[in-house]
């Protein structure tokens, strides 16, 4: 805890004073342009990776960057999507998976979930990853099989995202675009799913 407290002290002393006017505006409301749906993994830091500022990203995090299929049941992810699209009126919705994802490792090795009943039920949402599994990429080396499934999960969750009623409606109204990304922790690069080519391509 000491590390967090010391970090907060540095924020108050060094960061906040220089950005006081910006935080003053944020205290009155938010108007993010992007909904960023990603994994809860501690190695994925959206603002650091993308160079964004407070107020830019509306973020939803869960293990496996899951977007549950449309149902009558409410959950935190779909409620966040609904709010972002219908209230905040974001212009882009991004599903971002990442390399070495523990959720997809667990999907490949179910024994690791034997004592995690809630995680096991949650990860039923990633089953479609195997239907969209991507071709092996030699650059992934020994992690190629896992990376192919992780990319497949991005595509699966992107399909689930587009099936959400608020998202489908916003896309039809041409006020929202949905994207699927894969972030490689080792290289720092992002790949985007290209709908026409049916494959992931490096951005930037």
Q: What is the per-residue pLDDT across 93-125, written as a single tens digit (0 to 9) for each? A: 999 999 999 999 998 888 888 888 999 999 999
pLDDT computed for residue 111 by the predictor: 81
Q: Are 59 and 36 in contact (CB under 8 A)?
A: yes
The CATH class given to the 31-202 domain equals alpha beta
Q: What is the pTM of this model?
A: 0.94
**Ranges of each domain in the chain:** 1-29, 31-202
- C-alpha to C-alpha distance for 42 and 30, rounded to whole angstroms: 25
Q: Which of the four pLDDT bands, split at 50, 70 and 90, describes residue 134?
A: very high
In what helix (H) or strand (E) does residue 50 lie, and over which residues does it extend? helix 46-50
pLDDT of residue 73: 63
Name the region of 141 (left: φ>0; alpha: ψ -120 to 50; beta: rest). left
pLDDT band at 72 (very low <50, low <70, confident <90, very high): low
Residue 120 parent element (H or E) = helix 117-122
pLDDT of residue 109: 86
Mean pLDDT of 64-79: 84
Q: Residue 199: which residues within 8 A CB-CB, separation 6 or more?
A: 134, 135, 193
pLDDT surpassing 70 at residue 38: yes
Q: Are 180 and 152 in contact (CB under 8 A)?
A: no
């Amino acid at each position: 805890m000491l590390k967090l407290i010391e970090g907060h002290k540095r924020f108050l002393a060094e960061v906040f004073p220089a950005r006081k006017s910006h935080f003053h505006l944020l205290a009155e409301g938010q108007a993010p342009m992007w909904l960023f749906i990603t994994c809860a993994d501690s190695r994925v830091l959206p603002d650091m990776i993308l160079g964004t500022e407070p107020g830019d990203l509306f973020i939803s995090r869960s293990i496996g960057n899951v977007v549950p299929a449309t149902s009558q049941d409410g959950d935190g992810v779909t409620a966040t999507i609904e709010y972002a699209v219908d209230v905040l009126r974001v212009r882009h919705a991004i599903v971002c998976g990442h390399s070495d994802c523990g959720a997809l490792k667990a999907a490949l090795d179910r024994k690791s979930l034997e004592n995690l009943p809630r995680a096991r039920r949650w990860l039923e949402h990633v089953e479609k990853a195997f239907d969209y599994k991507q071709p092996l990429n030699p650059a992934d080396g020994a992690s190629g099989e896992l990376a192919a499934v992780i990319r497949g999960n991005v595509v699966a969750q992107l399909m689930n995202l587009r099936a959400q009623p608020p998202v489908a409606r916003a896309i039809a109204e041409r006020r929202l675009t949905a994207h699927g990304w894969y972030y490689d922790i080792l290289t720092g690069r992002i790949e985007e799913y290209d709908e026409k080519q049916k494959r992931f391509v490096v951005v930037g």
